[in-house]
Structure 1
Amino acid sequence: MAPNFNTSDSLYDFVVKNGNGVKGLIDSGLSEVPERYIQPEEERIKKVKTKRHDVSPIDLSKLRGPDHKKVLDEIVRAAETLGFFQVVNHGIPLELLESLKDSAHRFFNLSPEEKSLFYPGVSPSTKVKYGTSFAPEKEKALEWKDYISMGYTDDHDALQYWPNECKEVALDYLKLSSTMVRDIVEILIENLGVRVEESRIEGIIGMKMVNMNYYPLCPNPDLTVGVGRHSDMGTITVLLQDGIGGLYVKLDDHNNNHNDVEWLEVPPIPGALVINIGDTIKILSNGKYKSAEHRVRTTSTESRVSIPVFIFPKPTEKIGPLEELVKKEGVARYREVMFQDYMNNFFANAHHGKKSLEFAK
C-alpha cells in the first residue's frame, strides 16, 4: 500500500531528506501526483503551444573535408538563432552512448540506501552528489526528477569517487565530449572576428561535470515538469537523450514565425547528441549567440534518462563581453562577473526562465 503523505512536510522528508527521490514515490505505489509536484498553470507544458523541431542534425565529420565552410555556417546559424542543435558523427562511439543509458538505469535502480551514500554531506567527494529536483528548499512546486552529479577534477578522483555503476563510461563520455566542445567554442569565437588567447579558451572550458538525470514515469504528466524553465549557466552543454524525448526549447520573439507556438520539441535522433549554448557564450559574444530557455516534460508510459555534460568556465574566470567586440559595437550588453559569483546566484534560486542572466546585466 502506498504511504500516506498527510502533509507537505512528510512528503518533503520522504523524497528530499531521506533520499528516496521521485523514484521512491513511484516505487511506493503512488498513483497520482502529490500536490507538492503540481505546477502552476503557466508552468505546465501545453502540447498545443509546441511544435517539433524537425531540423537535420549537423554532421561534424564534414568539418574535416570539402564541406568544412558549410558545417561552420550551420553551427554559427544555430547558435545565433535557437541556441540548440543536434550533431551526428561526433566521434563518440554509439556503443558508449548505449552503455551510458544502461548505466544510468542501473544506478537509479539501486536501493535508496545505496544511492544515499552519495547524498551531500555523506558522499565520499564534494564533487559527487545525488539529489532530487533542482533547489527543493526554494521551489514552490518540485521538479519530477532525480539525478546524480559528478564533477571532474582528474581521472583518479573520478574512478575513485564516482558510482561504480557508471564511472568508466561517464568518464569516457565526458572526455570525448570535451574535445568536441573545444572545437565548437573555437568555431564560435573565430566567427566573432576576435582573437582569443589559448589560455583564455582553457579558462572558458576549464570546469567539467557529467550528470545523469532520471525522470520516473508520471501518473499525471500534464500537471508536472521534469525540469523547469531555465537557460544553462555554463559555456556549452552536450546532452544525450534516450528514445523517449521530452526536451522543449523556447522560441524568442526574434525567431518565432510560428504564431501560437512558443516551444519547440527537440526530438531524439538515434546516435545524435544535443548541443546547447550556455549563458557564458551569450555573455562573451555580447548577446550575438543565444542561450535558450528550455525545460523537460514527463511521460506516463516509461521512465526516462538523459545525460548532460556541462562545460563551464573555471570559478575564478571573469566573464564579460569580449573587449574587441565591445570596441567594435560600442556597447557592452553585460557587465563582467566572476564565474563563481554567477554560479552562486544560479544555484541560490529555483529555475525561473532567464532570470539568472539578469545577474550579469
Structure 2
Amino acid sequence: MAMNLEDRNSLFNFVVEEGYGVKGLMDSGLSTVPQPYVQPPHERIPIKNAHICEAARPIDLSLLDGPDHDRVAHQIARAAETLGFFQVVNHGVPVELLESLKAAAHEFFKQPPEKKAMYRKEVSPSRLVKYGTSFVPEKEEALEWKDYVSMVYTNDDEALQHWPHPCRDVALEYLKTSMKMVKTIVGVLMGRLGVTLDEERTEALVGMTMVNMNYYPPCPKPELTVGVGRHSDMGTLTVLLQDGIGGLYVKLDEGTDNGEWVEIPPVHGALVINVGDALQIVSNGRYKSAEHRVRTTETSARVSVPIFTVPKPWEKIGPFPEIVKRDGVARYKEVLFQDYMNNFFGQAHDGKKSLDFARAF
C-alpha cells in the first residue's frame, strides 16, 4: 500500500476516493490507529466501567393485542419520552431472518474492494445505493471507524434490480416485515398524545425508508476511536439489529455536556427502536430523539443493520396542531423535510445540533 497513513490526503484518497474503506486499512496489515482517526479526548468512549441500561429491557409487542395493551403502550410511550430508546421482542420479524441479515452484511463487506467501491456515491449505478465510510468524511475533524452501504427503498422491482446482490433479498424482506411493527409503534405513540393517524398522516411520517448495513472492523486501539460519533437520527423511528457484540451507547441527560452514557445491551432476537428528530418535532418535544454513539472493539468485526423510517422529502413537518393546542406553544417551526435532510447530511455528527434547524425559539 503506497501511502502515508499519517497524511490525511493520502489516507483519504485510499479510504474514501478509492473505496477501500476502513476494512481496506485493516486488511493491509494495519497495527496502529492513523492520526486522522484519533478522536479528541472529549469524544472518546470509555470502555471500562460502562453502565448497562436497565431501562432497555425488552418490551413484548405481542401483548399489544391483548388485555395488557394499555400497560405495554405506556411502557413504549414512557421509553420514548425519557431515554428515546427501547428494545422489542415478539415483533413479527423472524429470528432466522435476523441471523441471515447479519450473515449477509458480513458477506457484502468481505467482497473485494472494487465490488464495493462501484457503489460509491460518485459512481454508483443507482441513486438508491451508496457505499461509503465514516459520515461526512470531508468535514470531520476525526474520521469514524466504520464502513457502510445504504439502500433506499422505492418499490420492490427497483430494490431487486439495484440493491447489491449479497444482501438484496434479505434486506428487502427485513424492511417489509418490519414496517407493520413500525406503523403500530408510531400509532401507539401518537395515540398517547391524542393524535389519530390515518393512512395519509402515517405515510407522511414514515413514507421514505432505507436499510443500512454498517461494518465496524476490529480496531488496534479502540479507546482512541469511535465507530459513530454523537448524533441523533433525523427521521421518525429507527429499527436496529445489533449483532451481539455490543457497543451502542445512549446519553441519559439531554441538553447537558456531561450527561451519563449507558450501553444498550444486545439481546438475541430483539430489535432496538429509537426516536428520531422528526418524531420529536411532530410531538412538540414530548418524545425525545436520542443522542447516541458507537464504540469500536479490538476483538472482532461488528455489524449492525438499521432501518431508517423518515418523512418523504417533499413533506412539511412541524408539531401536530392538536398537540400545539394542548401545549399552548409550538416549540418547532414547520420545515420542508428535504431542507432538514440537507442540513443533517451537510455537517459532521455533533450531538443533537441538527434539531436547531427546526427550533421555533
Q: Does 1:262 align with 2:260?
A: yes
Structure 1, unpaired ranges of 5+ = none
Residue aligning to 1:215: 216
Could you report, residue by residue, the CA deviation over 1:177-204 in whole angstroms, capped at 9, with x for unpaired residues?
1111100000011110123443121111
Deviation at 1:328, TM superposition (A): 1.5
> In the superposition, relative to structure 1, how do residues 25 and 269 fare at CA in structure 2: closer, same or farther (>3 Å)?
same
Name the CA distance, whole Å, in 1 between partners of 2:236 and 2:193: 16
Runs of 4+ in 1 over 6 A off after TM superposition: none
> In the superposition, relative to structure 1, how do residues 283 and 49 fare at CA in structure 2: closer, same or farther (>3 Å)?
farther
Deviation at 1:49, TM superposition (A): 7.2
Could you report, residue by residue, the CA deviation over 1:75-115 in whole angstroms, capped at 9, with x for unpaired residues?
01100110000000100011100000000000000000111
Deviation at 1:64, TM superposition (A): 1.0
AA at the equivalent of 2:217:
P
Q: In structure 2, which of residues 288, 299, 319 is the aligned counterpart of residue 290 of structure 1?
A: 288
Deviation at 1:3, TM superposition (A): 5.4
Deviation at 1:119, TM superposition (A): 1.2
Q: Does 1:304 align with 2:302?
A: yes
Could you report, residue by residue, the CA deviation over 1:136-174 in whole angstroms, capped at 9, with x for unpaired residues?
011010000000000000000101100110100000001
Residue aligning to 1:174: 175
Could you report, residue by residue, the CA deviation over 1:308-358 in whole angstroms, capped at 9, with x for unpaired residues?
000000111111111111111111111110111000000000000001000
Residue aligning to 1:322: 320
Residue aligning to 1:15: 15
Q: Does 1:344 align with 2:342?
A: yes
Residue aligning to 1:133: 134
Indicate the larger mover: 106-115 or 197-206.
Answer: 197-206
Report the RMSD for the aligned CA atoms in angstroms: 1.7
Could you report, residue by residue, the CA deviation over 1:260-294 in whole angstroms, capped at 9, with x for unpaired residues?
87101001000000000101111111000110100
Matches within 5 A, 1:44-83: 44-47=44-47, 50-55=50-55, 56-83=57-84
Could you report, residue by residue, the CA deviation over 1:233-252 in whole angstroms, capped at 9, with x for unpaired residues?
00000000001010000011
Residue aligning to 1:280: 278
Name the CA distance, whole Å, in 1 between partners of 2:254 and 2:304: 28
Residue aligning to 1:114: 115
Output the TM-score relative to the length of structure 2.
0.96
Does the aligned pair in 2 maintain the 1:49–1:263 contact within 8 Å? Answer: no
Residue aligning to 1:231: 232
Name the CA distance, whole Å, in 2 between partners of 1:145 and 1:88: 27
Does the aligned pair in 2 maintain the 1:51–1:261 contact within 8 Å? Answer: no
Name the CA distance, whole Å, in 1 between partners of 2:297 and 2:333: 40
Residue aligning to 1:90: 91
Name the CA distance, whole Å, in 2 between partners of 1:253 and 1:336: 23
Name the CA distance, whole Å, in 1 between partners of 2:115 and 2:254: 46
Deviation at 1:8, TM superposition (A): 1.4
AA at the equivalent of 1:155:
D
**Aligned residue-pair number:** 358
Name the CA distance, whole Å, in 2 between partners of 1:254 and 1:311: 24
The residue matched to 1:118 in structure 2 has which SS?
Answer: coil
Does the aligned pair in 1 maintain the 2:253–2:259 contact within 8 Å? Answer: no
